[in-house]
Amino acid sequence: MRSLLADRLKTVKPSPSMAAKIRVDSLRAAGKKIIDFTIGEPDFPTAAHIVQGGVEAIMRGQNKYTSSNGIPALRQAIAGKLERENQLSFKAEDIVVCAGAKHVIFNAFAATLNEGDEVVIPAPYWVSYPDMVAINGGVPVIATGNSQNALKLSPATLEAAISEKTRWVVLNTPNNPSGAVYNRQEMEALCAVLLRHPDVWLLTDEIYEHFVYGAAKHVSPLNVAPTLASRTLIVNGVSKAYAMTGWRIGYGAGPAPLIKAISTLISQSTSCCSAAGQVAAVVALNGPQDCVKEAADLFFGRRDRMVQILQSIPGIECGVPDGAFYVFPCVDGLMGKTTPQGKVLSSDIDVMMYFLEAANVATIDGTSYGLSPYLRMSFATSIEQIEEGCRAIHDAVRALA
């Protein structure tokens, strides 16, 4: 019988973070108390004034289709934000609003990739990039980051990954899953490579920009290489900064022809984003920013606590992430150890499953993020959960032979 599914779906996997959520939910449904370090979203609600903005929009009757590229007030608010926070100048016409940053990235690939076009993706990477490239006929080319430099991509590795077929390079700072943040010098060096390849476009995913800790500062590539603007798409959104993941509002800013093509795709697929969500995003971007600072301060303290406990566990090597809300410890030191049930740990997937079964702690294997043997652990959860979960992991490690 003819296969139901299109060929282009053959290599596409469901998102590993969604798979982890299903594992946690089913264990919880079976009555187990699981500490969940797989969470990819803030654990607190959207600020009240933003919710209020959305509710008022609904009550006012802003419940109709909007223009495909987003309501003018939101595109204006995004232009204002890019100017104020990133010192980048964009016209409202050069901005498109999508159903989350994820949707911007998907649409950008759908709008530009032809069969066989390559997209350079630094590893470790956010799980969705390679699959979104593959769905759209492209070929993900993985460029592994430097383990001597917080798993950041080196200019030489980037240069080596670029070929005649390269259409895009994806940069993600602060990074999910490593938490790495490229400093100005590192960004300049990567941009210098891009400047040598005038046919290559840059997709810069800055969704975690507000979550940087200590002396770390977010640097957008266009801050150090403004001439790249003619072939750069900035991707961002309100999901993480304003705890608005479920509102599904993200945006892209870039050259008009690309933005127009993305708007056309939207007009022929989702039509537009939720009208009330767009109004709430205007309130988020134009309103008081204390909620963002408070969230960043909260994550900073949680990061330190999680790192501190993990660093005391033999066999787990945990660097200090400068941004986002994840740690990405290396578990190479646990390879070859034997569990009390007699299983030899031979991959990060084994370690993840062992921690889930022996410690009731859910993590995600680094393999899913293109680099092993690592685990991704989110600190978007309470200090109490962080302490309890990391101690349970410590006990589980002690039980290994």
Stretch that binds ligand PLP, among 1-9, 96-104, 110-118, 308-316 (CB under 6 A): 96-104
Give 299 or 354: the residue with its C-beta nearer to ligand PLP: 299
Strands 201-205 and 232-237: parallel
Binding status of residue 237 toward ligand PLP by CB under 6 A = yes
Stretch that binds ligand PLP, among 48-56, 237-245, 313-321, 360-368 (CB under 6 A): 237-245
Q: Give the type of residue at 2.
A: R
Q: Taking the chain, what is the end-to-end CA distance rounded to the nearest angstrom?
A: 51
Residue nearest ligand PLP by beta-carbon distance: 100
Binding status of residue 365 toward ligand PLP by CB under 6 A = no
Give 237 or 309: the residue with its C-beta nearer to ligand PLP: 237
Vertex 100, ends 282 and 37: CA angle to 5°?
Answer: 115
Give 179 or 237: the residue with its C-beta nearer to ligand PLP: 237
Could you tell me how many residues make up the chain?
401
Report d(CA 380, CA 326) in Å as an integer: 8
Exactly one of 101, 135, 212, 330 binds ligand PLP (CB under 6 A); that residue is 101
* Binders in 295-354 for ligand PLP, by CB under 6 A: none
Q: Which of 98, 87, 47 is nearest to 278 (CA)?
A: 98
Residue 394, classified by CB atoms within 10 Å of its CB into exposed (0-12), middle (13-18) or buried (19+), is middle
Report d(CA 42, CA 245) in Å as an integer: 8
Give 250 or 389: the residue with its C-beta nearer to ligand PLP: 250
Give 35 or 98: the residue with its C-beta nearer to ligand PLP: 98
Give 133 or 207: the residue with its C-beta nearer to ligand PLP: 207
Exactly one of 40, 53, 254, 366 binds ligand PLP (CB under 6 A); that residue is 40
Provide the 3-class DSSP secondary structure of residue 71.
coil
Shortest distance, position 336 Cβ to ligand PLP, whole Å: 32
* Binders in 168-187 for ligand PLP, by CB under 6 A: 172, 176
- How many C-beta neighbours within 10 Å does residue 324 have? 31
How many binding residues for ligand PLP (CB under 6 A)?
A: 13
Exactly one of 35, 207, 222, 361 binds ligand PLP (CB under 6 A); that residue is 207
Stretch that binds ligand PLP, among 85-93, 99-107, 283-291, 308-316 (CB under 6 A): 99-107
Give 51 or 392: the residue with its C-beta nearer to ligand PLP: 51
Give 118 or 205: the residue with its C-beta nearer to ligand PLP: 205
Shortest distance, position 40 Cβ to ligand PLP, whole Å: 4
Strand order in the sheet with 201-205: 95-98, 250-253, 232-237, 201-205, 166-172, 118-123, 139-144
Shortest distance, position 377 Cβ to ligand PLP, whole Å: 14
* Binders in 105-134 for ligand PLP, by CB under 6 A: 126
Shortest distance, position 63 Cβ to ligand PLP, whole Å: 22
Binding status of residue 140 toward ligand PLP by CB under 6 A = no
Q: Which long-range contacts (CB under 8 A, 24 or more apart) does 59-64 make?
A: 62/275, 62/276, 62/279, 63/275, 63/276, 64/275
Give 245 or 360: the residue with its C-beta nearer to ligand PLP: 245
Binding status of residue 250 toward ligand PLP by CB under 6 A = yes
- How many C-beta neighbours within 10 Å does residue 153 have? 28
Strand order in the sheet with 326-327: 326-327, 375-378, 364-365
Q: Which of 267, 269, 205, 210 is nearest to 233 (CA)?
A: 205
Q: For CA atoms 197, 258, 125, 304, give the dihedral sign.
A: positive
Q: 3-state DSSP helix/strand/coil percent for the chain, to nearest 5?
A: 45, 15, 40
Report d(CA 306, CA 321) in Å as an integer: 11
Binding status of residue 100 toward ligand PLP by CB under 6 A = yes
Give 190 or 207: the residue with its C-beta nearer to ligand PLP: 207
Exactly one of 183, 223, 245, 347 binds ligand PLP (CB under 6 A); that residue is 245
Binding site residues, ligand PLP, CB under 6 A: 40, 100-102, 126, 172, 176, 205, 207, 237, 239, 245, 250
